[in-house]
């Protein structure tokens, strides 16, 4: 090979190196701003006006403030990222960053989490919140993060007491016999309603309104503010205030994503979620009172039950339920010890 060819090849070689260097510099220039802003997509199954969605949006604003814009939470309500189980599975795989919703859904990974879907498990909302913030629940949460890659950052956003809404009156335990009631597709809910004789019908939330409208089911149950906001009172004219369940909303994150954040960013997420909690819970209480008043004005019959009698009946089957679903014996005994 002559000198000219060698020089030409040398020029080509250095030209390629130069191009690579320029390309790398351009890439780095483009990437730098992205590195300064981490985007966390947050999914919820609730509609945009739901208190959990509004609270999550407020949390996002606070997180951006606390991190100086390093963390951007993008909020996707109304199951835009999939249904609850889809989003939870996505967090486990690391394909979805965050989910905000009832912690009972976590029973799909660890059976003990299903226990919060038990009727009359808690005396009241304060009791439910205390359990969720307590040592036993923290152990469950730590186990979940270690074994399933989902971290529960905060779990003290009240969802409000759940009540029945139905196309025929439900006033006593006996009225549950044969009642076709929609239940979440979770074992704890299904068994809990089957034991007292109800025709528990697992059904996705997205199909429930139509199911009630078409007579596939005769009843469903949720917090009163949720029922009113989603217009269930327009097709079912009986609201029974049983206050039979108190769930908490959890703010959850993929463990892999959590570990990729700085300590300051992690602290900001927790601090923001905790700061929102009192406002969130006050709003839930106000919304429930307003929703029940509006339903009464719009022709819904409001029925109150002998709560002590219902509580006694459902607590009498708790051991049988626990055995069927498979809760930890230690957890069962601890929960029973807190009953009044």
Enter the pTM of the model: 0.86
Do 281 and 158 contact (CB within 8 A), yes or no?
Answer: yes
Look at residues 249, 244, 250 and name the one whose alpha carbon lies nearest to residue 118: 244
pLDDT at residue 97, as a whole number: 98
Domains and CATH numbers, the chain: 37-329 (3.40.190.170)
Structure tokens at 56: 């999550």
How far apart are the C-alpha atoms of 283 and 159, rounded to whole Å?
Answer: 10
Does the pLDDT of residue 1 top 90, yes or no? no
Residue range 116-138, pLDDT digits in tens: 999 999 999 999 999 999 999 99
**For 230-297, where are the E strands, in sequence order?**
238-241, 246-254
DSSP for 122-190 reads SSSHHHHHHHHTSHHHHHHHHHHHHHHSEEEEEEEEEEEEEEEEESS---SGGGGTT-EEEE-SSHHHH
Residue range 248-279, pLDDT digits in tens: 999 999 999 999 999 999 999 999 999 999 99
Mean pLDDT computed over 218-244:
98
pLDDT at residue 329, as a whole number: 97
């Amino acid at each position: 090979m002559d000198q000219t060819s060698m020089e030409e090849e040398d020029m080509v070689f250095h030209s390629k190196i130069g191009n690579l260097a320029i390309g790398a510099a351009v890439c780095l220039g483009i990437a730098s701003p992205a590195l300064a802003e981490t985007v966390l997509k947050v999914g919820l199954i609730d509609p945009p006006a739901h208190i959990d969605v509004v609270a999550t949006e407020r949390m996002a604003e606070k997180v951006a403030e606390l991190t100086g814009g390093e963390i951007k939470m993008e909020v996707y309500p109304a199951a835009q990222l999939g249904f609850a189980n889809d989003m939870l599975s996505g967090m486990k795989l690391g394909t979805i960053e965050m989910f905000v919703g009832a912690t009972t859904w976590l029973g799909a990974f660890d059976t003990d989490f299903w226990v919060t879907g038990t009727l009359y498990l808690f005396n009241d909302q304060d009791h439910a919140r205390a359990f969720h913030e307590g040592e036993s629940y923290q152990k469950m949460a730590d186990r979940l993060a270690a074994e399933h890659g989902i971290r529960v950052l905060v779990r003290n956003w009240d969802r409000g007491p759940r009540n029945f809404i139905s196309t025929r009156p439900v006033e006593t335990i006996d009225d549950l016999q044969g009642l076709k009631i929609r239940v979440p597709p979770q074992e704890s809910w299904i068994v809990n309603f089957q034991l007292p004789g109800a025709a528990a019908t697992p059904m996705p939330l997205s199909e429930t309104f139509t199911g009630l409208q078409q007579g596939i089911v005769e009843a469903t149950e949720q917090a009163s503010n949720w029922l009113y906001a989603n217009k269930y009172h327009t097709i079912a004219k009986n609201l029974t205030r049983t206050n039979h369940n108190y769930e908490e909303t959890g703010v959850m994150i993929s463990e892999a994503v959590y570990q990729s954040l700085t300590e300051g960013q992690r602290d900001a997420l927790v601090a923001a979620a905790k700061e929102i909690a009192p406002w969130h819970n006050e709003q839930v209480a106000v919304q429930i009172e307003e929703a029940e008043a509006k339903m009464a004005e719009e022709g819904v019959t409001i029925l109150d039950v002998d709560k002590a009698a219902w509580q006694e009946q459902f607590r009498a089957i708790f051991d049988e339920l626990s055995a069927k679903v498979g809760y930890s014996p230690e957890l069962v005994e601890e929960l029973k010890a807190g009953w009044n």
